[in-house]
Structure 1
Amino acid sequence: MARRNSLYSAFSGIALSLLLMGCDANLGTESAFPESTRGVVYQDGNAPDETIFGKGGIFGDSEKDLSDGGAGGGGLGVNAYLWRASLDTLAFIPLSSADPFGGVIITDWYSPPESPGERFKVTVYILDRRLRADGLRVTAFKQNQDTTNQWVSVTLTPKVTTDIENAILSRARELRVAREGE
């Protein structure tokens, strides 16, 4: 077994040496890619129309307007206005995760400074690429601290989530109006 490990180590060392020598061999030599065409490939509007990520690449077409039929563009998998409005509305709560392609924003637990014995957590689901009221769903959670310092879940009224959804939708409308006014 020891002989096998020493042969493996010797072979690995030789292979690594050859690899490093091969990398060094091309230093200082002319590249196969001519100097005159370097950096010109995507200049002057000659970028390819289609990529493996679709038209415009992974982040979308930079010239595309956000208001393309209410779809929101920008390469997001969801409506850009709803996405930005959700982040703006929940900016005071630390984020746990945000997936712009799946349209899910999950906040961390947040305790308001004026009431440290309660905490909130919000999850926002953006369900559509169009700016529509039914393209947004919010789930909110509340916990109160009991006398033994344990967190106990409290049921929130549906009005709380509706108020959050309305705040996000209002902000999204503001963003859209501001964008169209440009």
Structure 2
Amino acid sequence: MSLVAGVFALGACSGDQSSDSTYPSTIGTGPTHPTGNADRQTIFGEDGITLFGGGKDNAGAGQGIGVNSFLWRASLDTISFMPLASADPFGGVIITDWYQDPKATGERFKLTVYILDRRLRADGVKVSVFRQKHDEKLGWIDTPTDASMGTKIENAILLRARQLRMSSTAIGETGN
């Protein structure tokens, strides 16, 4: 009984449905609407809103990711020998899983790479290195790392990022 009452209540909400109305309406269309009307005013301006840095002023900063695309790609290239645990291109964080070099048994490393800027800058990347040594009785134990190890990896990432940028500039100039 209540189901029937609900159907009648919804039917009463339909309002006036004259036969001369058309759908979809072309009133209020604009440049962001498929039918396009240049006179439409919106709160976001003529071109709408740009998400993820799609403007012309940040060329090379990466379209669709939140960090510099050269630093992001160079970071992934540089640490590609290590298994990835997590990669967040919007936050600019890459976390590797533990990696044990076959030549150095009894110790393993883990990296966290932070990309800090949308520009290709020397201070735009930071690497944290974690090291563990294996003890027969206690298992894996955290051990301090050489302070220069993170800096060496940062320098390798920056070198690779510069190479990527130069190769993309050379491709852009030749028109390929």
How does the TM-score come out when normalised to structure 2?
0.67
Counterpart residue number, 1:155: 144
Q: Equivalents in 1 of 2:52, 2:69: separation in Å?
A: 15
Deviation readout 1:114-135 (Å, 9 max, x if unpaired): 2232110000111111111111
Q: Equivalents in 1 of 2:34, 2:135: separation in Å?
A: 62
Matching residue's letter, 2:64: G
**CA deviation after TM superposition for structure 1 residue 154, in Å:** 1.4
Q: Equivalents in 1 of 2:158, 2:86: separation in Å?
A: 21
**CA deviation after TM superposition for structure 1 residue 161, in Å:** 0.7
Counterpart residue number, 1:101: 90
Q: Equivalents in 1 of 2:169, 2:65: separation in Å?
A: 19
Q: Equivalents in 1 of 2:53, 2:34: separation in Å?
A: 16
Q: Equivalents in 1 of 2:160, 2:34: separation in Å?
A: 37
1:64-83 aligned at under 5 Å gives the runs 68=59, 72-83=61-72
Q: Equivalents in 1 of 2:62, 2:48: separation in Å?
A: 16
Identity between Structure 1 and Structure 2 (%): 52
Q: Equivalents in 2 of 1:74, 1:179: separation in Å?
A: 14
Counterpart residue number, 1:143: 132
Aligned residues: 145
Q: Equivalents in 2 of 1:151, 1:166: separation in Å?
A: 29
- Pair 1:77–1:147, CA change in 2 (3 A): same
CA contact (8 A) 2:71 2:161 kept: yes
Counterpart residue number, 1:49: 47
Q: Structure 1 unaligned runs (5+)?
A: 1-10, 19-31, 34-40
Q: Which residue of 77, 86, 90 corresponds with 2:75?
A: 86
Q: CA RMSD in A?
A: 3.4
Q: Which residue of 161, 164, 175 corresponds with 2:153?
A: 164
Higher helix share: 1
Matched, 1:122 2:111: yes
Q: Which residue of 151, 163, 175 corresponds with 1:174?
A: 163
